[in-house]
Chain A
Amino acid sequence: MQKAVPTTEYANEIRNEPIEHRFNPYSDNGGTILGIAGEDFAVLAGDTRQTTGYSINSRYEPKVFSVGDNLLLSANGFAGDATQLVKVFENRLKWYHFNHNKKLETASAARLIQHMLYGKRFFPYYVHTIIAGLDKDGKGEIYSFDPVGSYEREQCRAGGAAASLIMPFLDNQVNFKNQMDPASHGTKKREVRYLTLDEVIQLVRDAFTAATERHIEVGDGLEILIVTKEGVRTEYFPLKKD
């Protein structure tokens, strides 16, 4: 038999279980990262602002790391988990060298990160992770992960606070989505081609200046790490500090 419960607004608010105020082990530290793969290079960029809520913690707190083996790694979201993930990865990489005495391929690094993330499936690292490197043929590659380890190799990916602002721009400008060959009068899609490094850097800078305008958690500085067969180099560009 069903109890006769009055369906007033107030009745819906009555709860029988005690109200518990629990410690929240997560916070959102803002920021955005972006990776683009080229023909013989890959870039991984991130803004250098770190926030909690409306406070700017720091205007320069780098979050893209060159971890060795021509590999770039960045985790964006909750900064506590992000640093932990990078540290554990660096340690696992060190032990990989001890045990196997060879370079860790980007594809293997990606699989390792999947296991590290899925291993904490029920208390996840609250981060969007992207790695960048070169594959065995020397072509640039980007792998992106969700917080629990689902991953994919891609040509480009934005992650973090302004990912939803940057990603559609990338779809259009890197993968030429919704672009037509002008000569065909809108009957043929524009052929995809590899972008040059200069084009990519300009694209990354545009993406971040645009995201800085529209997202309060993005700004202060842009750090772009570029991986080529010669190694890793870093470029820094200031962003608006407001």
Chain B
Amino acid sequence: MNHDPFHWGRPSADTYGEYNYNIAHASNADRSTSTNSEFPRMHTQQPMITGTSVIAIKYNDGIVMAADHMGSFGSLMKLDDLQRIIPVGKSAAVGISGDISDFQYLERLLDDLEIEDSYDMESDNLKADYLSEYLTRVMYNRRSKMNPLWNAIIVAGFDGKGELVLKHVDLLGVSYSSPTLATGFGNHLAIPLLRKKVDSEEDVKKLSKEDAIQTVKDCMKVLFYRDARSWNKYSLCVIEKSTQSIEIEKDVAVEGMRWDFAQHITGYGIPQL
């Protein structure tokens, strides 16, 4: 046994030969002592703990956005009280899905921005359009280093003129804007339901706040029914243009579910007969 404090517990190399790091595929072994250097430098190649869909819809006086409170580790529900919609400054809310460690890193970046912005004691300058631009650049730069932040982000809020901003940014640095947005599974399950209500800016004028909230709640129900990595508790963010307010309600529960025998169910998300 080698009694050098740095090598405690290691068999002596003189007696047993060099430690073979290939044992148990110990690829992330301390590289300074490792003779095995052929392994490539590792970046995030897959997300670990993840958050599922974020959905958002525009209505005649604002935006409604929702994301559930779960962080899953594969099929394990690792976190059940995780708020994934965060307010940034006074004019924006950001909903983030994907890797949770990257989400927390982004949270810190946005926090730094907020602190930087508040030094001059002026009114809030951190507008939603600046934020979405900033996040797009961060995401694009990380993808260009082949070390992406594994997230899809929805930014909602107001620009400098108080107009609505709704933008989607993903891990490749691709950004786009649309009156209905969703990430992850929501893109397949919620978008068709949301676009049924709002497919263009003209439709936005016809949708009331109450209807928008109801639509989003229905979508969260469908997502809870069908997305195995979703949860029945979510945060609901309501943005109102006329009052320039952004409210995030936590612990909203999915309501009116039916878990009857399938024979009696006529479809999910639609009123039951």
Contact = CB atoms under 8 A, between A and B. Distances in A.
Chain A's interface size range is: 20 to 34
B45 A80 contact: no
A80 B174 contact: yes
A55 B187 contact: yes
Interface stretch (A17-25, A132-140, A161-169): A17-25
A58 B146 contact: no
Nearest to B187: A55
Given A57-B176, A80-B173, A83-B136, A21 B45 contact: yes
Given A83-B136, A123-B144, A23 B43 contact: yes
Contacts of A26: 172
Contact of A79 (B46, B176, B188): B176
Given A59-B199, A84-B140, A25 B146 contact: yes
Contacts of A80: 140, 143, 172-174
B164 to A, nearest CB: 14
B143 A25 contact: yes
A50 B176 contact: yes
A21 B172 CA distance: 17
Interface in B170-196: 172-178, 187-188, 191
B140 A23 contact: no
A23 B164 CA distance: 34
A239 B43 CA distance: 42
Interface residues of B, number: 24
A218 to B, nearest CB: 16
Nearest to A220: B200
Secondary structure dominating the interface of A: loop
Contact of B178 (A57, A78, A123): A57
Interface string A50-64: 101001011111000
Nearest to A54: B188
Contacts of A25: 143-144, 146, 148, 172
A219 B12 CA distance: 69
A52 B191 CA distance: 14
Interface in B32-67: 43-46
B168 interface: yes
Given A22-B45, A84-B173, A57 B168 contact: yes
A117 to B, nearest CB: 15
A79 to B, nearest CB: 5
A70 to B, nearest CB: 26
Contacts of A57: 168, 174, 176, 178
B109 to A, nearest CB: 19
Interface in A20-50: 21-23, 25-27, 29, 50
Interface in B85-104: none
A182 B260 CA distance: 75
A23 B178 contact: no
A121 interface: no
11 contacts: A21-B46, A23-B43, A23-B45, A25-B144, A27-B172, A57-B174, A58-B178, A60-B178, A61-B177, A79-B176, A83-B173
User: Which 8 pairs, one residue from A and one from B, show the smallest C-beta to C-beta distance?
Assistant: A80-B173, A58-B178, A58-B176, A79-B174, A57-B176, A80-B174, A61-B176, A80-B172
